[in-house]
Amino acid sequence: MSAVELGGGPITVGRASPEHAPDVELGPDPQRWVGRLHCTLDFADGMWSVTDNASVNGTLLRHGDVTERLQGRKRIQHGDTLLILGDMTPKGEPLYWELTFLDPHTTRPAPFGPPTDVRHTGPGLRYDWVAARAYRVENGVETLIDGLRPQGHQLLRYMAGRGNDGAAVACDHASLITALWGPREEWAPHRSYTRADLAGVVRAVRRCIEVDPSHPRILETVTGIGYRLNVSRPPT
């Protein structure tokens, strides 16, 4: 356990690279689960806020007994904890970095907005960001998906994190390759990743999430562009 004294901000949190050293470095991170500029803490008008910088694996915010995926900019107060995925066991159990914010002068509750009620009517996928679990959702019934490997989780986390609940999320090949293997400048010498590598990951994911992987309805192909993920909210 270590402590970092916050100055006036902004304070960057992420993974170190040859071109960048964040204020709070989370490492080692050989699998690149943590983004180089994963999230940022800012101080303004007497309070601290945190923003996820469109990271691939997202940032979770735990406030009291509630843990939610960070979307947009959120105020944080004494006792709040940021959870950033740092690794995953071979069985798919998430291992998080936990960054607890200590500021006894902050007393007002964080302004959480009301939940939206947007639904996807066809078969879709719900991703539980806290437990790192994926569920197939169809006709109001949720089925836990087994067998996803860590790279499959990373693909689904990236795609699910780029859309609103109940929406179809389309991502191009280039962005998905970067999400899975990092930017080109970080690749090992004489190693490159192509659409064929991406298609291999997609096939493995489809074998887990689709009823009929040869006719996918959740993770669909967008010809000439990339892939589309149909995202669902949990049934109420």
Q: What is the pLDDT of residue 103?
A: 66
Least confident of 32-46, 113-127, 173-187, 202-216: 113-127
pLDDT tens-digit profile of 40-49?
Answer: 998 887 788 9
The predicted structure's pLDDT at residue 121: 55
**How sure is the predictor about 166, in pLDDT bands with cuts at 50, 70 and 90?**
low
Reported as a pLDDT band with limits 50, 70 and 90, residue 165 is low
The string of pLDDT tens digits covering residues 117-151 is: 334 457 899 999 889 999 999 988 999 999 999 99
The reported pLDDT for the residue numbered 163 is 67
Residue 164 pLDDT class (50, 70, 90 cuts):
low
Domain extents in the chain: 11-100, 124-230
CB atoms within 10 A of CB 40: 19
CATH class assigned to 11-100: mainly beta
> pLDDT at position 106, please?
46
Instruction: Indicate if the pLDDT at residue 176 is higher than 60.
Output: yes
Residue 27 phi, psi dihedral angles, 5° rounding: -170, 170
Same fold, 11-100 and 124-230: no
Confidence of residue 203 (pLDDT cuts 50, 70, 90): very high
pLDDT tens-digit readout, 18-67? 777 888 999 888 788 898 889 999 888 778 899 999 888 999 999 888 89
Q: CA–CA distance from 24 to each of 98, 132, 152, 196, 227 (Å)? A: 12, 24, 28, 36, 34
Neighbours of 24 (CB within 10 A): 18
DSSP type of residue 112:
P
Relative to beta strand 24-25, strand 11-14 is: parallel
* Topology, domain 124-230: Arc Repressor Mutant, subunit A (1.10.10)
